[in-house]
Amino acid sequence: MATSKTDYAVPTGEFIAEWLDDNDMTRAELARRTGVSRKHITVVIAGAPVTPDFATKLDLVTHVPAARWLALEAQYRSDIERLGLEHALAADTDLLERFKASIKYLRDNGVILGDRRKPGHLMVQLMSFFDIGSADALVPANLMPQASFLKSQALDAETASLATWLRLAHLSAQEEPVTVPFDAAALEAALPEIRAMSRSFRDAPEAFAGRLAEVGVQVVVQPEITGCRAYGATFWDDGRPVIVLSVRGKNDGVLWFTLFHEICHVLRHPHTLFVEDHNMANPAEVARENEANDFAAEWLIPSSARDELYAIKSKAGVVDFAQRNGVSPGVVMHHLHHFEKWAYQNGQDLYVKLVITDD
């Protein structure tokens, strides 16, 4: 009897994602039940191999035999080999070079395996990570479909890193999505409370994200990838806004300015992808970015208080001003540095320094 052969390969992670949907379970819950990190679930769904150890854990939770999960994994790898994808893709060294920084980051964090000695293998994993069926589809229009800020649709190294950063943020947002419907009026009403959280940020660094979740806004902290040069971004997923923070500036002042910048995009420019501090493609994009900058500056340090602020000459004065105006000293210092009222080296010790890691 003849056997049919497909002309595509299905990663095992897609079957896991399908099981989660069918059983109304989040990725975070699967991570808890299998005793692995949420990041591990994310990377497996994104195409990382299912190991025998993880297959056994899946068996206990899903009641789908470990042998079945391993058979699906073997079938996927066999299909890739049969289709000759790895051999065909190995020749596209230019594409791998453009994704060089991304591949290093993804390898360091266990999302993909292997190295340049097996370039075709890396390309297949990269395509699986992006849910792309061919190397020709690894272009900005597919990787960032709403990225109107791009001046060119050519895939250079910077664009590749940016696309990878956004993809990781999207996968993280899906690990345990916010279920509260987005409420713009409630978000606006919560802004004074969120602003005040800058003062307690050192002791409660996740409080602002929890408050935003209550009004339907998801916050993802995604470390920057070399070359992407993004402080923050906003995109929409299933009708809810997702704010991404890279903590590129490594201090609380930059974080709070970026957060309020992105909140402006959520409120005033909905259902569009924005990436802060990237070259804009047209005057309308520039105008929206300027509006978001003005929004953040006004909310954090109102213009009515700036004459007093600009007259301050000491760090003690900054601390006093911050306390009286209900924000952190870091927020005040960022304003003074950003608008070049103080030399950058002055007041650095007033910031809360930030360090984030992938777990």
Cβ-contact 162, 230 below 8 angstroms: yes
**Model confidence band, residue 157 (pLDDT cutoffs 50, 70, 90):** confident
Q: Calculate ∠ Cα 325-219-246, nearest 5°.
A: 85
Residue 20 has pLDDT above 90, yes or no: yes
Task: Supply the angle between the helices 12-22 and 27-34 in degrees, to the nearest 10.
Answer: 100
pLDDT at residue 1, as a whole number: 30
Q: How confident is the model at residue 5 (pLDDT cuts 50, 70, 90)?
A: very low
Check residue 96 and give its pLDDT: 83
Cα distances (angstroms) measured from residue 69 to each of 47, 83, 307: 13, 21, 65
Burial-class residue 178 by CB neighbours within 10 Å (0-12, 13-18, 19+): buried
Q: Which tens digits make up the pLDDT trace of 42-81?
A: 888 877 888 999 999 999 999 999 999 999 988 887 776 6
Q: Which of 149, 190, 145 is nearest to 276 (CA)?
A: 149
Q: What is the pLDDT of residue 255?
A: 95
What is residue 153's predicted lDDT score, i.e. its pLDDT? 66
Distance CA 293, CA 147 (A): 19
pLDDT digits (tens, 9 = 90+) for 295-342: 999 999 999 999 999 999 999 999 999 999 999 999 999 999 999 999
Taking alpha carbons only, the member of 132, 158, 126, 127 closest to residue 145 is 132
Task: Read off the pLDDT of residues 218-268 as tens digits, 9 standing for 90 and up.
Answer: 999 999 898 888 899 999 998 899 999 998 878 999 999 999 999 999 999
| Residue written as token pair 């050192």 | 202
Per-residue pLDDT band at 4 (split at 50, 70, 90):
very low
The CA distances from residue 190 to 199, 211, 236, 309, 335, in Å, are 16, 8, 20, 25, 22
Query: Which tops the pLDDT comparison, 281 or 254?
Result: 254
When pLDDT is averaged across residues 85-112 and rounded to a whole number, the result is: 80
CATH architecture of 12-141: Orthogonal Bundle (1.10)
Write out the two tokens for 257: 């300015």
Does the pLDDT of residue 94 top 90, yes or no?
A: no
Q: What pTM value is reported for the model?
A: 0.79
With 50 as the cut, is the pLDDT of residue 131 above it?
Answer: yes
Residue 287 has pLDDT above 80, yes or no: yes
For residue 313, what pLDDT is reported?
93
Tokens, residue 290: 């300027």
Is 359 a residue whose pLDDT tops 80? no
Per-residue confidence (pLDDT) for residue 43, from 0 to 100: 80
pLDDT tens, position by position, 197-216: 999 999 999 999 999 999 99
Q: Name the residue ranges covered by the structural domains of the chain.
A: 12-141, 163-350
Output the CA torsion 15→16→20→26 (10° steps). -150
